[in-house]
Amino acid sequence: MQEHHIVGSSVPRKEGWDKVTGAARYVDDLVLPGMLHGATVRSNIPRGKIRKIAFDPGINWDEFVVVTAKDIPGKNCIVLILDDQPCLAAETVNHAEEPILLLAHPDRHKLRRAVDAVSIEYDVLPPVFSIEESEQRSNIIWGADNTFKKYLIEKGDVDAVWRDAAHIIEGEYFTGAQEQLYIENNGVIAAFEPESGVTVWGSLQCPYYVHKALMALCGLPEDKVRVVQMETGGAFGGKEEYPSMIAGHAALLAIKSGKPVKIIYDRMEDMAATTKRHPSRTRHRTAVSQDGKILGGEIEFTIDGGAYATLSSVVLSRGTIHAGGPYYWPSVRIRTRAVATNFPPHGAFRGFGAPQSLFAMERHMDRIAAVVGISPIEIRRRNFLKPGQTTTTEQTIRENIDLHYLLDRALDLSGYAPKKKRFTEENKTSSRKKGIGIAVFLHGAGFTGSGERYLNSLVGVEATAGGKVRVLVSSAEFGQGTNTVLCQIAAEALGLPYEGVAIAQPDTTVVPNSGPTVASRTAMIVGKLVQSASKGIQQTLTKSGLLADSYTPEQFRSACREYIAAHGALKSYSRFEAPGDVFWDDEKYRGEAYAAYAWAVYVAEVTVDLTTYSVTVDDFVALQEVGKVLNPVLAAGQITGGVAQGIGFALYEKVVWHNGRMLNNQMTNYIMPASMDLPPIRVFFEELGNVHGAHGAKGIGELPMDGPAPAIVNAVEDATGIRFRSIPLLSEDVFEALQSESVKQDAASLPGVTA
Amino acid sequence: MNSPGENIAKCDFSFTVNGVPKKALAYPMERLLDVLRNELELTGAKEGCGEGECGSCSILIDGMLVNSCLVPVAQANGASIVTIEGMSAHALMKPLQEAFLECGGAQCGICTPGMILAAVHLLEKKPEPALSDIQEGLAGNLCRCTGYMQIFEAVAKAARQRVAR
């Protein structure tokens, strides 16, 4: 077979033509005969007992299908990790916007009025609205202690390091909730037939999560639930767990009415009710030597999980493992906790805990540099992880990563040194203060620790008699390029043109469970399985004597034709096998946390206008090492898109809460970056070898979310001298800080105890 | 979802849609977006925000680029409406579509029909746009996936190809 290079080239997106013509079919574009529209009646208080549900007699309720918790045939919960979240609240509500009752009607215009005509009386209970209140535990709202999950990492003897420290540096950092803001709102259609069971078509990331949740909710066996992913208009984690809820609602209405039911959220409902990024608080206390070497430290990382456990434990896990950044800690104690509040549950969002704890780490590094009296560049150089050293979980870095080289290259690409010099000069006389900041970080690819082993993913590849190859995975396309890169990998493995390989629409009756489409795992983990399943097809044909070692696409076609004529079908499956030497201790949180890490250095240049208090990003350099870049155009698109979301996280996107409800649940007043708000985002890749993924690819999707916020806030401090420690950092925050004469010195340096 | 007042009877409206005369029976205050999608089965225009912020529902009414979620159907009576489905013969479409595919201008695709209509509208007015013209021309269309860079590149590329011919 001749060497060919589909992998590594920017072939066009598989489903691209449908997208640029408007022909792509999203769930709201689908209409089924006799279909009803569904709507959700939600709680308007954050916490209380449901006393009474009343229906306004002005509405003819006979026209409506009404579903309450009593109509649930199976278990009233959205099965995920702890199974604590009801599908419909029956007796108590624990957050505003909690679903209580469902309605369906053929005319969707009549639904809104009907939703408003259901009134619910409550015995109000006191709510909890902050990490601090939750920690006080004077009001227990979840479990025995308001705690969904905690982790403790202990490496070395931290208690011994304070004595020898030249400096002990403390800092406290906060990040806010962030809305995923996919442009396509959440939506599903469900249908029910007594013989075939429930079918759901939806906008979603994880077909088998929905499948599992529906089996439990509807009390149906595996073969009586079918989940089909429609074209999905953005997700970013926001369609990881919540689609199970909406699918459950539509399924209940479909079962009760016997008709297909469509539920499409409008923007306000989507923003108010569905998950957002976990708000966080991180406390650092770091012992540093005279020359700026980290000796050890304590990190406390706490996230606000909202009212139910959902994915908080795993978000916390990723935040915990990333909390130490790309640095060598001889000793460290990391205590972390996900706590309950009465906000709608927070959930998956690109980065999954890492952007929060890395924001703190990278802000804190600048703080350490200032106290030690060296530059932000130098402090990082002195503490970079090197191959052979161990991470906070005592994972030995075996990758050939050279962070010094990455840093040098990023500084060079961004023109860091000359800019820094120029800004210092110009800032003396200008009211437009310029600054430049960096962030260095890593992101683990795939599920944490033993996660991939539990997932046990299965991937299929099939060939038709016409020699067409089709990839069978539950990994969903939602813009990031799943369809394209998996087809590239299969085509490369089989020596076929890219056009000769297609991918099946994710449908649980057609594709095996290749795991959820999350955690930057698709290219690396699923891609590798697609590669080996493709090789399986080839081996089957060569072993049966139908195909020579070297062949043309035409010879492949005739081999397929002959094989299928003789055997009926040609399919090959490949299941995940954990490398034998991987050690992970779930109890002590110690060992090989991730099979591979992506590494990055980001540089942000900002202007802080002292007349308008606005912060603008003028230039952004994103340099990363993600192993083999499978498709340069798609990969660059992942980075620019992630950086844009990171800029929003840092400077624009503020969720305003009032009594547990989001007040600004509209695109008008929740501000994401538009075309005129962004700097040039300049993307660069380094490629190092990686043994784990197909062709050495590592995860890429989440990485770009981690770096922008700390790089930008570091640049703002460079410009203004103010140590901002919370994001989002809005103009009003800049105004407030500049107004107050004595800026709160949050991370005071304690006098070092000399040895 | 708006409640267009179901107490008012539905009325007949007529317009030219993608060059073809069409009639629709709808509530007068019903959003044109819903009439196009539900009554006329033209699903290329998408709902993103329902309040004129995101531009995913962009269409052309009498040559003007508008957000169809903000237009009551009564207001479009008698107008000439063009949606993405009716644009295929437009000379700018193929270069734009190809450039979007080559440059990575479409990721999840939900903003893409509106984005491409906005780009056509821009290039009709400014055949050789500077980057700042492109940024301004697309300012009414939000994209959450790309960070816009590859969209700018695609529009610039399509413009160059068009001028070169």
Is pLDDT at A580 greater than 80 in this prediction?
no
DSSP-derived secondary structure letter, A545: T
The CATH number given to B93-164 is: 1.10.150.120
Q: At residue A135, what is the residue type? A: E
Chains A, B: CB contacts under 8 A, how many?
185
pTM greater than 0.80:
yes
pLDDT at residue B162, rounded to an integer: 82
Choose the closest CB to A113 out of B3, B110, B138: B3
Residue A738 and residue A720 in contact, taking contact as beta carbons nearer than 8 Å: yes
pLDDT at residue A3, rounded to an integer: 53
Best of A13, A31, A675 to disrupt the B interface (most B CBs within 10 Å) is A675
- Torsion sign (Cα): A269, A229, A479, B61: negative
Q: Which chain A residues have a beta carbon less than 8 Å from that of B147?
A: 637, 640-645, 673, 678, 681
- Relative to beta strand B20-26, strand A681-686 is unpaired
The predicted model gives A601-611 an average pLDDT of 97
Joined together, the tokens standing for residue A142 give 């979840």
Best of B110, B112, B122, B153 to disrupt the A interface (most A CBs within 10 Å) is B110
pLDDT at residue A147, rounded to an integer: 98
Q: Which residues contact A692 (CB under 8 A, 6 or more apart)?
A: A445, A524, A528, A595, A596, A698
pLDDT at residue B163, rounded to an integer: 78
- Residue A479: Cβ within 10 Å count: 31
Q: Rounded mean pLDDT of chain A?
A: 95
Query: A 553-612 residues with CB below 8 A of B?
Result: none
Joined together, the tokens standing for residue B158 give 């399509």
Q: What is the pLDDT of residues A48-83, one digit of tens each?
A: 999 999 999 999 999 999 999 999 999 999 999 999
Which helix (H) or strand (E) segment holds residue A173: the answer is: strand A167-175
Query: CA-CA distances (angstroms) from residue A86 to A98, A203, A342, A491?
Result: 9, 21, 15, 44
Share of chain A above pLDDT 70, in %: 97
Choose the closest CB to B108 out of A479, A672, A673: A479
Q: What is the pLDDT of residues A613-644, one digit of tens each?
A: 999 999 999 999 999 999 999 999 999 999 99
* E strand residue ranges, A384-486: 432-445, 458-463, 469-472
Share of chain B above pLDDT 90, in %: 92
- Residue A70: Cβ within 10 Å count: 8
- Relative to beta strand A261-264, strand A36-42 is parallel
Best of B46, B54, B144, B155 to disrupt the A interface (most A CBs within 10 Å) is B144
How far is the alpha carbon of B78 from chain A, nearest alpha carbon, in Å? Answer: 24
Per-residue HEC secondary structure of chain B comes to: CCCCCCCCCCEEEEEEECCEEEEEEECCCCEHHHHHHHHCCCCCCCCCCCCCCCCCCEEEECCEEEEHHHCEHHHHCCCEEECHHHCCCCCCHHHHHHHHHHHCCCCCCCCHHHHHHHHHHHHHHCCCCCHHHHHHHCCCCCCCCCCCHHHHHHHHHHHHHHHHC
Is pLDDT at A501 greater than 50 in this prediction?
yes
Higher per-residue pLDDT: A36 or A582: A36
Whether the CB of A679 is below 8 Å from some CB of chain B: the reply is no
Give the three-class secondary structure for A469.
strand
Residue A31 and residue A79 in contact, taking contact as beta carbons nearer than 8 Å: no
Is pLDDT at A755 greater than 50 in this prediction?
no
CATH architecture of B11-86: Roll (3.10)
Torsion-angle region of A22 (φ positive above 0: left; ψ -120 to 50: alpha; else: beta): left
CA B136 – CA B129 distance, rounded (Å): 10
The answer to whether A16-24+451-575 and A280-448+587-750 have equal CATH topology is yes
Q: Which long-range contacts (CB under 8 A, 24 or more apart) does A427-433 make?
A: A427/A719, A431/A609, A431/A610, A431/A611, A432/A607, A432/A608, A432/A609, A432/A610, A433/A607, A433/A608, A433/A609, A433/A610, A433/A719, A433/A720
pLDDT at residue B2, rounded to an integer: 45
pLDDT at residue A742, rounded to an integer: 45
The answer to whether B11-86 and B93-164 have equal CATH topology is no
- Give the residue among A109, A250, A103 at the shortest CA–CA distance from A187: A250
- Give the residue among A175, A189, A349 at the shortest CA–CA distance from A275: A349
Choose the closest CB to B44 out of A22, A28, A645: A22
Q: Which long-range contacts (CB under 8 A, 24 or more apart) does A143-148 make?
A: A143/A340, A146/A339, A146/A340, A147/A337, A147/A338, A147/A339, A147/A340, A148/A82, A148/A305, A148/A309, A148/A312, A148/A313, A148/A316, A148/A338, A148/A339, A148/A340
- Relative to beta strand A661-662, strand A657-658 is antiparallel
Query: CA-CA distances (angstroms) from residue B43 to B38, B85, B86, B93?
Result: 8, 9, 12, 18
Q: What is the pLDDT of residues A164-192, one digit of tens each?
A: 999 999 999 999 999 999 999 999 999 99
The predicted model gives A12-26 an average pLDDT of 98
The CATH number given to A31-125+180-273 is: 3.30.365.10
DSSP-derived secondary structure letter, A264: E
**pLDDT class of A749 with cuts at 50, 70, 90:** very low
| Residue ranges per structural domain of chain B | 11-86, 93-164
Q: What is the pLDDT of residues A384-434, one digit of tens each?
A: 999 999 999 999 999 889 999 999 999 999 999 999 999 999 999 999 999
- Residue A35: Cβ within 10 Å count: 17
pLDDT at residue A2, rounded to an integer: 44
Q: Which chain A residues have a beta carbon less than 8 Å from that of B150?
A: 633, 636-637, 640
The predicted model gives A723-749 an average pLDDT of 77
Q: Which chain B residues have a beta carbon less than 8 Å from that of A25?
A: 43
Q: Show the DSSP H helices in A502-628 as ranges.
A: 527-543, 553-567
pLDDT at residue A754, rounded to an integer: 31
CA B165 – CA A266 distance, rounded (Å): 44
How far is the alpha carbon of B84 from chain A, nearest alpha carbon, in Å? Answer: 6
pLDDT at residue A714, rounded to an integer: 98
Is pLDDT at B4 greater than 60 in this prediction?
no
CATH architecture of A280-448+587-750: 2-Layer Sandwich (3.30)
Q: What is the ipTM of this complex?
A: 0.97
Q: Which residues contact A403 (CB under 8 A, 6 or more apart)?
A: A326, A380, A384, A385, A386, A440, A599, A601
pLDDT at residue A656, rounded to an integer: 98
pLDDT at residue B165, rounded to an integer: 67
| Residue ranges per structural domain of chain A | 16-24+451-575, 31-125+180-273, 280-448+587-750
Share of chain A above pLDDT 90, in %: 92
The top-level CATH class assigned to A16-24+451-575 is alpha beta
pLDDT at residue A449, rounded to an integer: 87
Q: Which residues contact A657 (CB under 8 A, 6 or more apart)?
A: A129, A343, A663
pLDDT at residue A155, rounded to an integer: 98
Q: What is the pLDDT of residues A187-226, one digit of tens each?
A: 999 999 999 999 999 999 999 999 999 999 999 999 999 9
The predicted model gives A120-131 an average pLDDT of 98
Instruction: Mean pLDDT check: name the lowest of A315-319, A516-520, B68-72, B136-140.
Output: A516-520
- Give the residue among A133, A298, A197, A273 at the shortest CA–CA distance from A509: A197
CA A648 – CA A471 distance, rounded (Å): 36
Q: What's the length of chain A?
A: 755
The predicted model gives A116-141 an average pLDDT of 98
Q: Rounded mean pLDDT of chain B?
A: 95
pLDDT at residue A178, rounded to an integer: 98
Q: What's the length of chain B?
A: 165
pLDDT at residue A403, rounded to an integer: 97
